[in-house]
Structure 1
Amino acid sequence: MKKFLVTGSTGVTGAPTVRFLLENGHKVVAFVHREDDRSKALMELGAEIVLGDMLKIEDVRGAMKGVEAAYLCYPLTQGAVEATAIFAQAAAENDVKQIVYMSHRQSRQHARSPATMNHWLSEQILDRSGVPTAHLRVNFFSEWVLYTAAEIRAGRYLTPFDPESRFVPIAAVDIARVIVKILENPDAFGSKVITVTGSREVSHIELAGILATTLGKEVRFEQVTPDEFVKILGWDGDPSYAMHFKAIKVDQQEQLLVGVDNSAAEIAGQPLTTPEQFIEQHRHLLA
């Protein structure tokens, strides 16, 4: 039995990571910034809940004690680089054998999105920490369609991106399977960059058609500006989101999110969730 730390533990990748690790017989420290029904559910599964702030080093040090390996996931909002530095320092102090870091597929030293640049800078910090780190450069989540579930129920696939822009969506549960494999087998991974995509490339207008066919209803494609998009989602209180979507729109135009990579399926050891399967699994939210 090993002990693992999972940040973002109530999120779409963190929660299934906690669940899979517990199912495999491990101890899991689930780091949360507030207690709610989601953290209660993890506690009921057997996770140790640690309430803290990732920007406070003593909180992270406390959570890291006795941990074999750790998953680092930080939101698009400000503070990512500082949180990573704190996390890396705490991991080094506790002789952690492996970090798995959630990054962006288009992470690069000249990234136009501040959030993506923060991911690239965080990768550099982790690589210099002395703790082996697997950087997961992830494509769009399949959960993208759930952000606008209400609009899809109303018959429109709403996006700030161009109709022909292409990407390779991957379900968060499949990402979690990759995370677990790396955490459990640090000697097989160590320090490396892993491109994480789904098994099928689509355009946004094609995804609208897949939604319509799978749900058996009309779903029309509708493009709005990034500013309009974040306002519809209720995220306009934080300018980070609009800035990121504006940059990602250009990244897609430059085809930085195209191309299927088989690494996720190979590491997970099973077929990945298709767009149709994901939509069917979430029919109750989308139909």
Structure 2
Amino acid sequence: MTIAVTTPTGQVGSRVVRLLLQAGVRPRVLVRDPARLDAAIREHVDVRRGDMTDAAFVREAISGARTVFWVDPTPHSSEDPIETSDRTADPLIEAAQDGDVARVVLLSSVGAEKRHGAGHIDGLARIEERLDATAADTLHLRCAYFFTNLFMDLDSLAGGVLTTPFRPDVPMAWVDPRDIGDVVAARLLNDDWKGHEVQAVHGPEDLSFQQVAAILSEVLGRTIRLEVVGEDDLRGALRSAGLSPSAVEGIVGMSAGTRDLVPEQPRDVITTTPTPLAAWAYAHLRPAVLQATS
């Protein structure tokens, strides 16, 4: 069983690599800088060193792998993020078309089911469509909003403010990336599924940003005030940061395009993962906020 893992040092990929090793699998990992791999892990994996935007490297690195776990490495701040996501996946699509890869597990997102109108998520939707047009078995994991996105608001949280472009009172799915890694590893190790499948990863419960602010207030031991940022204000801030028009719309579109979304797959025993936000925040966010405050 040969499994190739992209972004093996990321929030999800690092968890996947560790679980595969514990299952007795030596994964093939695509990584730009092997030094970023945990030293204890490095000797147990097949390292392929290169840049994920280098099509020739990616094509060679994944060739012959039975299964590929694909995480789009494109930053939201890219000049044209949707086009870049699509183009970066070209060698994966080619390998699937040529039969060099038999199965692909894609880290996708809630909102990809819309196909258009969800900002940078549209790039994942395009990859889903292209993979499903091949003969490879494909699984698209449509994941909820990551708990770890809260780290992007660390300075504001240290000052007692949580900012969001989402509607404050509308519940949405939230998930711990570690739990996503558990689902990914289970699917990579299961050799029985065939065809083209979609599985949502919704986390333990839907939460509005008002509820999130209340949870964080309790965990952090301070009042966290919610501040809603309008789309025009968000655009202005992103432009001031030097982002291109395509990048700005890619970021704004993710929240605007999923604001009233009802996910294609309902919450059930398959799509629900266990870690609650409060437990994750106490273990991970609280120490980071305390450090930022000090």
Deviates more, 1:185-194 or 1:166-175: 185-194
Q: What is the identity, as a one-letter code, of the residue corresponding to 2:275?
A: T
For the residue of structure 2 that corresponds to 1:211, the secondary structure is helix
- Of the three residues 141, 145, 149, the one matched with 1:140 is 145
Q: 2:282 aligns to what?
A: 280
C-alpha distance 111-65 of structure 1, shift in aligned 2 (>3 A) = closer
Cα offset for 1:39? 3.1
Alignment of 1:161-240 (within 5 A): 161-188=166-193, 190-225=195-230, 231=237, 236-237=242-243, 239=245
Q: 1:268 aligns to what?
A: none
Q: What is the identity, as a one-letter code, of the residue corresponding to 1:286?
A: V
**1:200-220: CA deviations, max 9, x gaps?**
111011101110012211111
Cα offset for 1:194? 1.0
List runs of 5+ in structure 2 lacking aligned partners.
none
For the residue of structure 1 that corresponds to 2:128, the secondary structure is helix
List runs of 5+ in structure 1 lacking aligned partners.
266-270
For the residue of structure 1 that corresponds to 2:192, the secondary structure is helix
Cα offset for 1:235? 6.6
**2:16–2:181 Cα contact (<8 Å) kept:** yes
**2:111–2:261 Cα contact (<8 Å) kept:** no
**2:169–2:209 Cα contact (<8 Å) kept:** yes
Q: What is the identity, as a one-letter code, of the residue corresponding to 1:284?
A: P
Cα offset for 1:62? 2.0
**1:199–1:262 Cα contact (<8 Å) kept:** no
Q: 1:254 aligns to what?
A: 260
CA RMSD of aligned residues (A): 2.7
Q: 2:55 aligns to what?
A: 57
Task: Tell me the distance in 2 between the aligned counterparts of 1:235 and 1:222.
Answer: 20
- Is 1:28 the counterpart of 2:27 in the alignment? yes
**1:68–1:96 Cα contact (<8 Å) kept:** yes
Deviates more, 1:251-260 or 1:146-155: 251-260
**1:53–1:59 Cα contact (<8 Å) kept:** yes
Task: Tell me the distance in 2 between the aligned counterparts of 1:21 and 1:112.
Answer: 36
Q: What is the identity, as a one-letter code, of the residue corresponding to 1:11?
A: G
C-alpha distance 240-47 of structure 1, shift in aligned 2 (>3 A) = farther
Task: Tell me the distance in 2 between the aligned counterparts of 1:120 and 1:184.
Answer: 25
C-alpha distance 274-109 of structure 1, shift in aligned 2 (>3 A) = closer
**1:6–1:18 Cα contact (<8 Å) kept:** yes
For the residue of structure 2 that corresponds to 1:54, the secondary structure is coil
- Is 1:158 the counterpart of 2:163 in the alignment? yes
Q: What is the identity, as a one-letter code, of the residue corresponding to 1:124?
A: E
| TM-score of the superposed pair, with normalisation by structure 2 | 0.84
**1:165–1:255 Cα contact (<8 Å) kept:** no
**1:210-254: CA deviations, max 9, x gaps?**
10012211111112245755858x975355553234223333432
Q: What is the identity, as a one-letter code, of the residue corresponding to 2:141?
A: L
| TM-score of the superposed pair, with normalisation by structure 1 | 0.85
Aligned residues: 279
Q: What is the identity, as a one-letter code, of the residue corresponding to 1:251?
A: G
**2:234–2:252 Cα contact (<8 Å) kept:** no
Cα offset for 1:110? 4.8
